[in-house]
């Protein structure tokens, strides 16, 4: 932001101004095997030879063997390559290549921190070998073998168990197990919790806890600095929230207007457009709709006004007093008087069967894997089955995840017992300290009791489909992606319409201490085939923008329209299904999905038969 707008601080979510660290939803490095490459010799005869350009001088000139201390991540220099024709593509080979990851465009190689006392290399001698392979645009190839030696380091004193440090708080809650302590006590618990449970605990940097004002601020930096296969942060999912926020989310309760904003411009001329509205929220009951553009806030010009405080107070109220929003809908300007309030969210909002030229296509809008969605999903699938649905489209474009058992139930209701019986839905793989906790989820065929036992009186309905179509985008993450990955693992066809998903094959169990819940990645999730390498997301079968001019569930809405035609033709349209209007789409900006959805949760729960 520039000029006199530098203090403007907006969020597209409920009732809070945008913080400097919007939570966004997972990554995971790819495990790449040895690449077997063949050089094709050019041979000519008769009247001529190959017209291809061949470089005999392709060479990586700057990489060398190196060493790195234990508990420190390895990151190589960018390779210098001489003699290349056109752009280069990089892959890995070598004995320990599966333990490294490479950026295919830059050639930078990385490896998470290793423990000297527990070597993982093939020779178990703390020498990790890889070969960087560079291929130019004309298929010329060169390679460089590199050995990375992990050296021993003097380690500090052992950390006390987190359980021993728990509930010693700056502000203990009365009538609980909490007792009076200091910020140092809370930080000590956070450090031990991360060391015990974090998937990449070996990679956590050593930082001075006294430099951080709170346990939450200290927790924020206790994560791996490693990069994923696309060069982004490996861990994009490290966050915490207050107990009050945690209770509201897990119970499907919000206190705000119920509007999700697509922020096309935060500085003047500002532009906010509604991309989603909770039906039971104050905004939903008032009639605010997807596609409405914000014009005024309590009489203040939202687009060019300078009263930033007044705008923030009206758009993100910290109180429960009335405010007036003026919204443009088409050529009309509508005024809505709203008061932030508590309401129940609706994870399953639209479930219907569309008769598409004689084919019965079920459509389901589903935006959160919270506990109360179980009954709603069962009701929807029973209805689909009763109506004889032949195809299924699930709209999960804004579904950032949630409870893994709900994800498993949804996958079962899609595939049915024939395809899923005896198969792994999701295998949770923990850090090496917790390998005994590795746990495989089945495709769950029953509803669960409050104690997570099978409720044998409530078998789940299923459509027994061989293929399903999902509407997805950057807001599709974690437990949503577990559905995709699990179905691919049992050879159910999954057609994705929209844009690339977020990429989070990880999960965690929220851990509470001193009035706050902490989310640190604890496991990666593998499907029945052992695949979990979708840290950069699943790429759509057909790319379609999210057009805010159409209501979700409208058969003319571009993603749904494309899905319907793709089911029939098995081909993507060559031209856009609908034009993307000036008001744009959520994909145009990095922060457009409500953090309650973008937190990308995959929360495990042990299930009992």
Q: What is the percentage of the chain residues whose pLDDT exceeds 70?
A: 85
Average pLDDT in the 101-121 region? 90
Neighbours of 176 (CB within 10 A): 10
Is CATH 3.40.50.80 correct for 59-151?
no
3-class SS string, 524-587:
EEECCCCCCCCCCCCCCCEECCCCCCCCCCCCCCHHHHHHHHHHHHCCCCCCCCCCCCCCCCHH
Give the pLDDT band (50/70/90) at residue 156: low
To 5 degrees, how large is the angle CA 135–CA 141–CA 147? 90
Which pLDDT belongs to residue 56?
Answer: 56
Which pLDDT belongs to residue 447?
Answer: 97
- Asked if pLDDT for residue 233 goes beyond 60, the answer is yes
Which pLDDT belongs to residue 544?
Answer: 95
pLDDT digits (tens, 9 = 90+) for 529-572: 999 999 989 999 999 999 999 999 999 999 999 999 999 999 99
Give the list of residues 6+ apart from residue 446 with CB closer than 8 angstroms, or none. 454, 455, 456, 458, 459, 460
CA dist., res. 265 & res. 8, Å (int):
11
Neighbours of 409 (CB within 10 A): 26
- Asked if pLDDT for residue 601 goes beyond 60, the answer is no
Which pLDDT belongs to residue 160?
Answer: 95
Average pLDDT in the 582-608 region? 45
Average pLDDT in the 242-250 region? 84
Start-to-end CA span in the chain (Å): 55
Give the pLDDT band (50/70/90) at residue 574: low
CATH fold of 348-603: 2-enoyl-CoA Hydratase; Chain A, domain 1 (3.90.226)
Give the pLDDT band (50/70/90) at residue 606: low
- Between residues 53 and 403, which one has the greater pLDDT? 403
- Superfamily holding 253-344: PDZ domain (2.30.42.10)
CA dist., res. 310 & res. 302, Å (int):
10
Average pLDDT in the 58-67 region? 91
Average pLDDT in the 86-92 region? 93
Which pLDDT belongs to residue 482?
Answer: 96
| Boundaries of every domain in the chain | 59-151, 162-235, 253-344, 348-603
Average pLDDT in the 73-95 region? 91
Q: Of the spans 134-143, 218-227, 434-443, 459-468, which averages the highest pLDDT?
A: 459-468
CA dist., res. 536 & res. 520, Å (int):
19
Give the pLDDT band (50/70/90) at residue 605: low
């Amino acid at each position: 932001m520039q000029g006199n707008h530098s203090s403007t601080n907006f969020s597209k979510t409920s009732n809070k101004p945008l913080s400097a660290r919007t939570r966004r939803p997972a990554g995971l490095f790819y495990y790449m095997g040895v690449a077997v490459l063949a050089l094709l010799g050019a041979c000519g005869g008769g009247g001529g030879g190959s017209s291809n350009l061949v470089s005999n001088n392709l060479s990586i000139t700057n990489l060398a063997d190196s060493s790195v201390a234990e508990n420190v991540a390895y990151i190589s220099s960018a390779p210098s390559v001489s003699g290349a024709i056109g752009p280069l593509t990089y892959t890995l080979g070598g004995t320990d290549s599966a333990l490294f990851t490479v950026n295919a465009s830059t050639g930078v190689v990385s490896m998470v921190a290793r423990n000297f006392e527990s070597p993982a290399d093939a020779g178990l001698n703390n020498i990790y070998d890889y070969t960087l392979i560079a291929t130019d645009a004309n298929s010329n190839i060169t390679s460089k073998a590199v050995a990375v030696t992990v050296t021993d380091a003097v380690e500090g004193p052992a950390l006390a168990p987190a359980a021993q440090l728990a509930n010693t708080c700056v502000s203990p809650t009365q009538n609980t197990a909490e007792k009076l302590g200091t910020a140092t006590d809370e930080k000590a618990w956070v450090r031990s919790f991360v060391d015990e449970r974090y998937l990449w605990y070996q990679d956590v940097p050593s930082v001075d806890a006294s430099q951080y004002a709170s346990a939450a601020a200290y927790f924020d930096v206790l994560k791996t600095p490693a990069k994923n296969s696309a060069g982004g942060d490996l861990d994009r999912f490290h966050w915490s929230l207050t107990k009050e926020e945690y209770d509201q989310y897990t119970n499907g309760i919000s206190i705000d207007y119920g509007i999700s904003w697509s922020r096309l411009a935060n500085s003047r001329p500002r532009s906010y457009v509604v991309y989603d509205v909770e039906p039971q929220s104050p905004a939903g009951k008032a009639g605010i709709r997807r596609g409405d553009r914000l014009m005024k806030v309590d009489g203040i010009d939202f687009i060019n006004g300078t009263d930033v405080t007044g705008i923030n107070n009206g758009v993100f109220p910290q109180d429960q007093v009335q405010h007036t929003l003026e919204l443009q809908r088409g050529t009309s300007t509508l005024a809505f008087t709203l008061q932030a309030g508590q309401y129940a969210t609706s994870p399953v909002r639209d479930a219907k069967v569309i008769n598409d030229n004689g084919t019965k296509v079920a459509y389901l809008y589903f935006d959160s894997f919270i506990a109360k969605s179980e009954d709603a999903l069962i009701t929807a699938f029973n209805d689909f089955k009763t109506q004889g649905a032949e195809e299924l489209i699930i709209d999960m474009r804004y579904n950032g995840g949630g409870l893994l058992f709900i994800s498993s139930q949804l996958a079962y209701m899609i595939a049915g017992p024939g395809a899923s019986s005896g198969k792994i839905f999701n295998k949770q793989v923990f850090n090496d300290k917790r390998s005994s906790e590795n746990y495989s989820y089945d495709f769950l065929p029953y509803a669960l009791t409050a104690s997570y036992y099978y409720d044998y009186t409530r078998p789940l309905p299923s459509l027994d489909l061989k293929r399903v179509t999902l509407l997805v985008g950057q807001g599709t993450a974690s437990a949503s992606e577990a559905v995709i990955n699990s179905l691919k693992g049992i050879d159910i066809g999954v057609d994705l319409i929209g844009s690339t998903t977020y990429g989070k094959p990880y999960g965690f169990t929220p851990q509470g201490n001193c009035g706050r819940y902490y989310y640190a990645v604890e496991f990666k999730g593998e499907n029945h085939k052992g695949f979990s390498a979708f840290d950069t997301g699943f790429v759509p079968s057909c790319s379609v923008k999210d057009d805010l001019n159409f209501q979700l569930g409208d058969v003319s809405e571009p993603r749904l329209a494309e899905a319907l035609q793709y089911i029939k033709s098995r081909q993507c349209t060559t031209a856009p299904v609908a034009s993307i209007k000036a008001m744009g789409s959520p994909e145009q900006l990095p922060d457009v999905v409500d953090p309650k959805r973008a937190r990308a949760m995959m929360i495990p729960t042990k299930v009992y038969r």
